[in-house]
Amino acid sequence: MSGFSPDLLAHLQRDVTTVCHCWRVVRADATVLGFTDHDRPLVVDGTPCAPDSGFSASETRESLGLSVDTLDIEGALFSADLDAGEIAAGRFDGATVETFLVNWRAPDQHALLRKAVIGRITLEDGRFRAELESQKRHLDQPRGRWFRRGCDAELGDGRCGVALDQPAFAGEGTVSAVVTADMVAVDGIETFEPAWFSNGILTCLDGPLAGARHRILAHRRGSAADELVIWRDTAPLPPPGTAVALRAGCDKRFSTCKAKFGNHLNFRGFPHLPGNDVAYGYATPDETFDGSPLVP
């Protein structure tokens, strides 16, 4: 039982113990929150842990090998630190959760049981359930490059090299209306061509969803304002009046990389990669074989 202090080990060997669980949540934006299943506040390892969240944990197990171990924690949305809108906006996605075993009579007697990452969160009837995945989940993520015709770089990253802070690739506007469950109308971006922000990113600058990022599936010109189709996972759409920043998108094709961004020398795909039908292909008299580029 490495990591357990002698005082805590001595306490656990008693016939009657006074232990509880505490959780420290560290979000991607560096916000640190503490919760406990005890009935009064505790301070564990310098983190205040609130009891008003109704946290409870399911059975957990740790296995040998490389399989990903999981644990569910659930609770009611009573705490001021747990807001349904922030959960729906993805503020807790990928957060690190540390689980402590604590002697609530002497909180300095505590031990770190496990460290996990929040996977999926579900909301139902004023309660939430978060799935905690062990750190071995990183071993289950794809690594390396994909050999395919489309580019496998993220627009604007180090491998792509496009400077997205240029006026041609960034714009700002205001949400004027929520058209459908996955579409908003935005004023102020009429100077950009239709589809310019397709596959791009919308970031909320103010309002209840300030800082939330949404993937734009399609950008088209509407009768009154430009309309953006938003990828809906769990995050709500920005309400009317929200100021938003928009980033141009890329469909990962070589022709788009060349014509829209002038970045074809950094293209990270393989546009000449043969398809599955290449084995059935053959030369015909009406085709041109002059050595010109196959991909414009």
Question: Domain segments of the chain: what residues?
Answer: 6-137, 167-247
pLDDT digits (tens, 9 = 90+) for 120-167: 777 666 666 777 776 665 666 667 777 888 999 999 999 999 999 899
Write out the two tokens for 97: 């959760």
Domain 6-137: which topology?
A: Pnp Oxidase; Chain A (2.30.110)
C-alpha closest to that of 59 among 47, 49, 73: 73
Q: What is the pLDDT of residue 66?
A: 43
- Centre a 10 Å sphere on the Cβ of residue 130 and count the other Cβ atoms it contains: 23
Query: Is the distance from CB of 92 to CB of 26 less than 8 angstroms?
Result: no
Write out the two tokens for 294: 């196959």
Residue type, 229: V
Write out the two tokens for 50: 């609130």
- Say yes or no to pLDDT of 109 above 90: yes
Q: Return the bridge partners of 104, or none.
A: none
pLDDT, greater one: 256 or 117: 256
Helix (H) or strand (E) holding 254: helix 254-259
Write out the two tokens for 69: 């171990």
CATH for the 167-247 domain, from 2.40.30.20, 3.40.50.300, 2.60.40.10, 3.40.1190.20: 2.40.30.20
Write out the two tokens for 157: 């990253």
**Could you give phi then psi for residue 294, rounded to 5 degrees?**
-75, -30
pLDDT, greater one: 233 or 100: 100
Q: What is the pLDDT of residue 55?
A: 56
Report the C-alpha gap between 247 and 215 in whole angstroms: 10
CA dist 172 → 118, 161, 175, 187, 204 (Å) = 32, 22, 10, 9, 10
pLDDT, greater one: 76 or 182: 182
Report the C-alpha gap between 150 and 170 in whole angstroms: 23
Write out the two tokens for 289: 């074989």
Query: Region 59-75: what's the mean pLDDT?
Result: 50
> Which range, 67-81, 132-146, 177-191, 282-296, has the best average confidence (pLDDT)?
177-191
Q: What is the pLDDT of residue 257?
A: 94
Report the C-alpha gap between 163 and 228 in whole angstroms: 23
**If pLDDT is split at 50, 70 and 90, which confidence band does 48 have?**
very high
- Centre a 10 Å sphere on the Cβ of residue 160 and count the other Cβ atoms it contains: 19
pLDDT, greater one: 130 or 10: 10
Tell me, what DSSP letter sits at residue 86? H
